[in-house]
Structure 1
Amino acid sequence: MIKNYLKIAWRSLARNKMYSLINITGLTVGIACCILIILYVKDELSYDRYNQHYNETYRVVQAFRSAKNVKDLPPPAPEEYQVWGCAPLAPALKADFPEVDKIAQFTSPNTFLLQYRDKHFQENGIVFADSSMFDIFSWKMIYGDKTTALKGVNSIVLTKSVAEKYFGKSNPVGQMIKVDDGNSLMVTGEMEDIPSNSHFTFNGMISMSTFRQMRSEIFNWWGYVDFYTYFTVSAHTDINAMQAKTAAFVQRHNPAGADHSYAIAFEPLKNAYLHSTAKRQPGVTGSLSNVYIFSLVAIFILFIACINFINLSTARSMERAKEIGVRKAVGAHQEGLMFQYLTESVLIAFLATLLGVALAICLLPVVREMAGKPLPLTALLSWKMLLAFLLAPVLVGIPAGIYPAWVLARFKPALVLKGKFHSSGKGIQLRQGLVVFQFSLSIALIACTAIVFSQLNHLRSHDLGFRQDQMLVIDYGGDGNINKNIEAVKAILARNPAVTSITASRAVPGDFLPDATTVIEAPNGDKSSFDPGIYEIDADFLPAYEVKMAAGRAYSKSFSTDSEQAIIINEAAAKMYGYANPADVIGKSFDQWGRKGTVIGVTKDFNYQSLHNKVEPLTIRMAQFYSFNKLSLRVRSEHLSGTIAELQDTWATIAPNRPFLYSFMDKSFNEQYQKDVRFGQIFMTFGFLTIFIACLGLFGLATYSTEKRLKEIGVRKILGASVTNIVTLLSGDFVKLVLIAIIIATPLAWWGMNKWLNDFAYRIAIQWWIFGVAGLMAVAIALLTVGVLALKAATGNPVKSLRAE
């Protein structure tokens, strides 16, 4: 019987080519989209799972707050914690918590010029790290012994991609590599590159003992933060019980003093990428809401494709009514008939699955580019995915076909064979309801896509409070030789007529900034201590970036005391220290990092960080020459490529061993929103694919509806109906359904996008016209889809449709 069912199913598909094509195409696109979204979501959920001790690994997050009476402070909120911490924390935890098995620390990334023979490159992402890093994280060593590689002073482990730039495919262990034209490090290991699904990455690790030799004093400072602390616990450890002992731990070590509140918490490694709200992350973080959104989109796409199948199958049930009547008359049972038509449904789903997998493979490179993820093809070959492919025809075919099969199997043979069987009103209402559901989703996706891109445009066009256009930034990694002659270097570069201004600084907007414990005299005369961010700049920085002053003055070379006895803060910092009027803080005393003096100016708040965050308190001070890392040159827009070439030639004479690495501020600053841009691109792509599938179903349903009304159209034309009257008649029913869909989709899209926009400190207000435009687009799409068929029917010869009457 199964063989017979398959044969009949195949004949039915071949006989109704257009409807079969619509069903298979819709399911194919739906399944392909599902596969691609599953790969994306699977990658997002896979972060750090490559680690053998994934479930037993935690990291320390710390909250550091100021108050006159720390007992009056409530417990820190999750967003008040930061992952960045201090060096003495690790040995103290190891000593005080027997539950801690292995513990390791690494610093924030550094930039070094590495040189081996005639090869030299400026390498970013070099960290100082404990040798126990290999005990916590499951990284594969290609060459060298991971148990000893980071124990010795002046030793370095390179990742494969970096090592091959200097040593090719050969074993680099034992080779000496020069650092910043000074000390040499011995390569003690080459490891595989950090997996892309890791919440932090680096290009090399220098032994922590090297850092300890360079700056031994900071390893006893509880107030110096530049370390990330990770540890593993023994099996069956109660982490909550450990957490309960942290208050006593902090009090015992008393790192901050009586006027500070210091708290630590333990965050599971599994929360680091998608669930952490802590600041100062060591790498990128993901968005759990995006995972949910794309998962829902995958479900909706497949659901819409199944709706097409249900709609077309139930609509065409009248054509198969006589077949059912004959089968029942000769003894077929309802269960057997249902099984027969479910077999047909599963066959369609099987063909769609094969084509869907092939389409997904073809589109995978495009999705990789949009998502910025490797998404390996081998992920499709895992046993879970292969099992899903095998089960997909059943899991998709049976739910999609169960209702049409049930409808067909319940036909009364006597009525059918006498020609008295007609479509039920309930069936028509169901099809209309499903069309409304389809277009509700489609309209919501159109509106959401418009809101996403409006927000991205807002991020790009928002007034940041500083001028970023035509600003060329040279990253020279804090080269000591350049810093010793920084004013001469600036003067040489400024000779280029295309350079209109030039400044040196430790960081530029968009960069990672340190915090600095800063004491400023409060309005009542007390000393207030907080930890705002810190910019270290030269006297030309604020004018070059056109940062405006709210009160006081900017730095000036005319005041010799500015370099040691002055500080500038932003408006947010002034408010934090209790000054609603920025002018009132001018002249107040400060104490920061061994420097004392007075506040000479307050800048207007400028967005030195991503617009995901509000402008945070910031201090700006004159840097010592050894603190500079970057040069910022404002250049004329004319002949830009020629200007860059000239600057590169000049740089080769200034620093022949230092590569000319440059970027433009506007481009590099906007890279902070790359994740949002990718989200928008992916969302738009799958949104329009959803609309495409919905239109396929609408086209099929409209085609069938038009065919059933050909005789009615013929009569109307003979009685004088115009083409416009007939097109309006045939299109009107579907347009009404789309209008209902607009009413349903609008509040849903508004609610969802309002939630998404809450992740931005600077967000657009959702405008009503976005939903109006989305609705008009949906109506236009529906009219185009249905109108073509209606126009064809309206302009046809009525004699042909009435010939049988």
Structure 2
Amino acid sequence: MNPSDILTPPHWPSRFLRWYCHPDYLEDIEGDLIERFETDLAIKGPKVARWNYTKDVFRLFRPGIIRPLSGNNQLNHYGMFKNYIKVGVRNILRQKAFSVINIAGLAIGIACCLLILLYVNDELSYDRYNKNFDRIYRILHTYRSAENPGSLPPPSPEDFQVWGSAPVGPALQADFPEIESYFRFTSPSQLLFQYGSKRFQEDNMVFADSTAFQIFSWNLISGNPKTALKEPNSIVLTLSTAMKYFGYDDPMGKTITIDQTETFVVTGVMGDVPSNTHFTFDGLISMTTFHNWRPEIFDSWGYVDFYTYFLLKENSRIESLEGKIPDFIEHNGPDWYKTDNTIAFEPLSSAYLHSKASRQPGTTGSYTNIYIFSFIAGFILLIACINFMNLSTARSMERAKEIGVRKAIGAQRHSLIVQFLLESIMLTMLAALLALILVAFVLPFTRELSGKALYFSDLLSWPFIALFTGSVIFVGLIAGSYPAWVLARFKSSQVLKGRLKSSSGGISLRKALVVFQFALSMSLIVGTAVVFSQLKHLHTLDMGFTKDQMLVIDFGWDSKVQEQIASIKTELGKHPKVSMVSTSRAVPGAFLPDAGTRIESASGEMTMHNPGIYEIDQDFIPTYEIELIAGRAFSDDFPSDTTQALLINEAAAKLYGYTNAEDVIGKKFTQWGREGTVVGVVKDFNYKSLHSKVEPLSIRYAPTGALRRFSLKVAPEGMVTTLADLEQLWSQLVPHRPFIYSFLDDSFNRQYDADIRFGQIFTVFSSLAILIACLGLFGLTTYTTALKTKEIGIRKVLGASLFSIVTLLSKDYIKLFLIAVLIGIPVSWFAMNSWLDNFAYKMEIGPGVFIVAASICLLIALSTISWQSVHSALRNPVDSLKDE
């Protein structure tokens, strides 16, 4: 350091003082500081003097001394902001109509966004309640046939299924030290539960390994999580199931009789499975029970009835396991390996939204729907912001004189921008408060509509509150940015001389925004029409079988019913309203297994595939009116049909290489221990959802113990009386079992509940988006009509008709509408075709959909515009011309 620098004040504090200090005070303050520095230098030395000088510079950094940022006399802008708020409130109250339209539009837009946010958040939260969420995986399986192992291409995601065999889990844990534990559960079992006088058929009970509570974070209210499912004949009930049987009594240690033969001990009570999980159940039965019943299947790689999950050890990578899969399969299941079967691992995070595998243990979601609803939320909010910008810029002429006067007396451009942005944020805050009230009011209806557990409390977390507040301010800034920029650019000289006119840029922007609103509104109308047309198409499509007036009675494989199937069928068929009765394992729309089936090829070789399997009696085909295209159906005239005959559908015939159905008749088959010949081919019928094409199906005569349902074709007249009669008859024939029935068309159509719910939600939010667009259009029309009040009066005095005046006010919007139609047609066509790709059987989007949508959109727009236009045209011209 230069010695002379020690005797002078430090440089950087001096520079800082000169930067912030008001010019009027700088000379005096700096002189005083230098005098004090020299005194400290002489008495206390240079180090203390320099330190005191620096402290004094920073102590003086306060509002009374700091130079003004923009020519004001002080940094404290409290008075200025107070004035901005006053002016903003006055403008809001003065322009009540525009304020109500803006606040209502923004409120509806924000409310829609919040509701959709709750829906999307619920969809994205599936299975995340598990503390080991990131370490849980499940095993996927493929079952493909190949003459030579490895000859088939790698399986696609659609080739896998979640349903698999029992030995996979134990074998994986034995071979892979990275696996901490595994958990298996079966497909839901239908069991007759009885406790005292209470008797119900439970359709969602699963057999599960004792590691259930080790892998999944289910809340076990009573019982030991490590031992609750260890012993045979032990059962853990969900809270709602336990309440059904035991009320408020403690169920622990009590026994429940199942199927009138087995007694089970309640060893645990768990909270109901959270709604945001990809599979649910009403109770867990120990897997050791199932093992005691059927021990042979726990060593069979070919028996499929299990879903297997495993927990990866911490710091282990799933990639290290995936590379060992071929060796694992060859070592554990060589026969399985020869058929080109394999496994894969899927993280729990992909189970609900991303999985393409079949045979899911529960419902799956749709990322496409999440994108669609998110876009709708964004569009709704964007429309609300567009309305705000349109109305604000359109009203700019009304505030021109205010801006001119304020600029003339010294107002800076940036202060005007701040004022208008502050007014925009105030409107947005009011809209946000109203939106929260709307959400609280409509949330119960939204829960019913969406079928999801959505609660207002989900919006009360601190992260969400911070995000919501920030988003509201951001929306206010975005919505008010362009109007503020336009208004602040007004020149005071032109404004005060009355020469200011709307800029061509502002008019062009408003027109562009109106076109955008029209195009979006039309696209949403097209989307709504396509969704409901597709759903109608699904309901009216020829399924290939009769499902109307088909009553299905479920007896859950009851052994006592199995023993007297023939006599029960006879008695049910005697009812005058019942024309036909059949029995089967499955019915269309219900779950059915796959069966490894070999059928003789044209070259004489036995080809292996895994078609679905229906097990039926001889009356099933005629009862459901399924058409035969080759051969014959099962018949009592051929006793060997019960053990040596097989029917297949057209898809199965093609799978085995027969394009001509007649050629497969008489070919040999082997299936599940049964051998014989193919005796008939049925026409393809949609026994599964129309989301997929008809899959290969084999149909065989049901063996003893394989039947579960009666199908009754009943007359539609007097249905209530018919059901009462059948229930009474059932209580006489099967007194130990409840009368559980459903109509096939209802149960089959439940496969489309998610699609119907999607259509309803889509329609509601589309309608709200159109409503917001109409609000903006109404406000804009009101303003433009007000600007032409005197012109309308003059035209009426000169003899103009009502029609010509309405046309004058509407023609510009009609032109914009036509442009919007040209934009909306290709956009909506592309978007809805992408949605229709989820269906194997989809409607064709013809020009009629766009014509109807355009007509509806035009009608809505004209109704909105004409309301104000007709009102202005009907006014007495004297009222509009007498003021100046």
TM normalised by structure 2 equals 0.90
Structure 2 residue aligned with 1:696? 775
Which residue in 2 is equivalent to 1:719? Answer: 798
- Corresponding residue of 2:655: 576
**Residue aligned with 2:792, SS:** helix
The equivalent residue for 1:390 is 469
Displacement after TM superposition at 1:223 (Å): 0.7
Once residues 558 and 174 of structure 1 are traced to their aligned partners in structure 2, the CA distance between those partners, rounded to angstroms, is 54
For 2:341, what is the secondary structure of its paired residue? strand
User: Secondary structure at the residue paired with 2:677?
Assistant: strand
Q: What's 1:440 paired with?
A: 519
Deviation at 1:360, TM superposition (A): 1.0
Work out the CA distance in 2 between the residues paired with 1:256 and 1:800: 95
The one-letter code matched in structure 1 to 2:734 is A
2:286 — aligned with what? 207
Shift of 1:254: 3.0
Bigger CA drift: 154-163 or 240-249?
A: 240-249
Query: Where does residue 361 of structure 1 map in the other structure?
Result: 440
What does the per-residue CA deviation read over 1:57-81, in whole Å, with 9 as the maximum and x for residues that have no partner? 1000011110112322110011000
Quick check: 1:300 aligned with 2:375? no
Q: Map residues 128-167 of structure 1 onto 2, 5 A cutoff.
A: 128-167=207-246
* 1:280 paired to 2:359: yes
| Structure 1 equivalent of residue 178 of structure 2 | 99
Q: Following superposition of structure 1 onto structure 2, how do residues 584-599 of structure 1 map, counting pairs within 5 Å?
A: 584-599=663-678
1:390: Cα distance to partner? 2.5
Query: In the alignment, does 2:849 pair up with 1:770?
Result: yes
Match for residue 333 of structure 1 among 412, 423, 443: 412
1:79 to 158, 169, 178: 158
Counterpart in the other structure of 2:305: 226
Q: In 2, Cα distance between the equivalents of 1:256 and 1:403? A: 71
Which of 171, 178, 183 aligns to 2:262? It is 183
Does residue 264 of the first structure (1) align with residue 264 of the second (2)?
A: no
Find the counterpart in structure 2 of residue 412 from structure 1.
491
User: In the alignment, is residue 473 of structure 1 matched against residue 546 of structure 2?
Assistant: no
Cα distance in 2 between the residues matched to 1:145 and 1:421 = 81
Decide which of 318, 322, 326 is 2:401's aligned counterpart.
322
| 1:312-365 CA distance string (max 9 Å, x none) | 000000100111111111221111111111111111111111110111111111
Pair member with larger Rg: 2
Distance of 2:462 and 2:602 partners within structure 1: 67
SS in 2 for 1:44: helix
Residues 569 and 582, structure 2, Cα contact 8 Å, conserved in 1: yes
- Tell me the residue number matched to 2:706: 627
Given the alignment of the two structures, is residue 737 of structure 1 paired with residue 816 of structure 2, yes or no? yes
Distance in 1 separating the partners of 2:451 and 2:472: 31
Judge which range, 383-392 or 359-368, deviates more.
383-392
The one-character-per-residue Cα deviations of 1:721-753 (angstroms, maximum 9, x if unpaired) are 221111111111011111111111111111111
SS at match of 1:411: coil
Counterpart of 1:527 in structure 2 is 606
CA deviations on 1:198-219 (whole Å, 9 max, x unpaired) are 0000111111111111000001
1-side partners of 2:183 and 2:347: how far apart?
15
How far did residue 386 of structure 1 move? 2.2
Aligned-pair CA distance for 1:276: 0.3
In structure 1, the residue matched to 2:719 is: 640
Aligned-pair Cα RMSD in Å: 1.1
* Pairing partner for 2:593 from 509, 514, 518: 514
Per the alignment, residue 572 of structure 2 pairs with 493
Offset, 1:399: 0.7
Q: Aligned letter for 1:572?
A: A
Instruction: Select between 457-466 and 710-719 the one with higher mean Cα deviation.
Output: 710-719
1:749 aligns with 2:825: no
Query: Which of residues 81, 90, 104 is equivalent to 1:2?
Result: 81
Preserved contact between residue 192 and residue 200 of structure 2 (Cα < 8 Å): yes
The Cα of 1:776 is off from its aligned counterpart by 1.1
Question: One-letter code of the match for 2:393?
Answer: T
One-letter amino acid matched to 1:72: S
Q: CA deviation at 1:257?
A: 4.6
Instruction: Kindly provide the CA deviation profile for residues 436-466 of structure 1, in whole angstroms up to 9, marking residues without a partner as x.
Output: 1111111000001000000000010010000
Q: Paired residue for 1:36?
A: 115
CA distance in 2, matches of 1:493, 1:377: 51
Alignment of 1:703-714 (within 5 A): 703-714=782-793
Percent identity between the two aligned chains:
55
How far residue 477 of structure 1 moved from its aligned partner, in angstroms, is: 1.1
* Residues in 2 aligned to 1:465 and 1:383: alpha-carbon distance in whole angstroms: 55
Deviations 1:110-162 (A, max 9, x none): 00001111111100111111011111110001111111000001111111111
Tell me, in whole angstroms, the C-alpha distance in 2 between the residues paired with 1:413 and 1:288. 54
**Correspondences of 1:168-179 after superposition (within 5 Å):** 168-179=247-258
- 1:542 aligns with 621
Q: Which residue of 1 aligns with 2:693?
A: 614
Equivalent-residue separation in structure 2 for 1:667 and 1:167 (angstroms): 32
Structure having greater relative contact order (Cα 8 Å, sep ≥ 6): 1
The code of the aligned residue for 1:493 comes to L
Equivalence for 1:758: 837
User: In structure 2, what residue type is equivalent to 1:469?
Assistant: D
Instruction: Compare 788-797 and 594-603 and name the one that shifted more.
Output: 788-797
SS at match of 1:631: strand
- Name the SS of the counterpart of 1:205 in structure 2: strand
CA distance in 2, matches of 1:409, 1:78: 58
> Is the Cα–Cα contact under 8 Å of residues 353 and 389 in structure 1 kept in the other structure?
no
Structure 2 counterpart of 1:88, from 151, 156, 167:
167
Asked if structure 2 preserves the Cα contact closer than 8 Å seen for 1:35 and 1:360, the reply is yes
**1:204–1:257 distance in 2 versus 1, CA, 3 Å:** closer
Contact in 2 for aligned 1:159/1:190 (Cα 8 Å): yes
SS in 2 for 1:389: helix
1:312 aligned residue (350, 375, 391):
391
Distance 1:634 1:240 in 2: 54
* 1:243 aligned partner: 322
1:255, CA displacement in angstroms? Answer: 4.5
What count of residue pairs does the alignment treat as equivalent? 805
SS of alignment partner, residue 335 of structure 2: coil
Asked whether the 8 Å contact 2:329–2:336 carries over to 1, the reply is no
Contact preservation (8 Å) 1:370, 1:681: yes
Match of 2:528 among 449, 459, 463: 449
2:840 aligned partner, one-letter code: A
TM-score by length of 1: 0.99
Which of 735, 738, 760 is the aligned partner of 1:656? 735
Contact kept, 8 Å, 1:587 with 1:599, in 2: the verdict is yes
* Amino acid of the structure 1 residue aligned with 2:753: Q
Q: CA deviation at 1:259?
A: 4.8
State whether residues 537 and 621 of structure 1, in contact with CA within 8 Å, keep that contact through their aligned partners in structure 2.
yes
Could you say which residue in structure 1 is the equivalent of 2:62? Answer: none
* Contact 2:163–2:307 (Cα < 8 Å) also in 1: yes
The reply on whether 1:793 has 2:863 as its aligned counterpart is no
Query: Take 2:159 and 2:471, find their aligned partners in 1: how far apart are those partners?
Result: 46
Q: State the SS of the aligned residue for 2:629.
A: strand
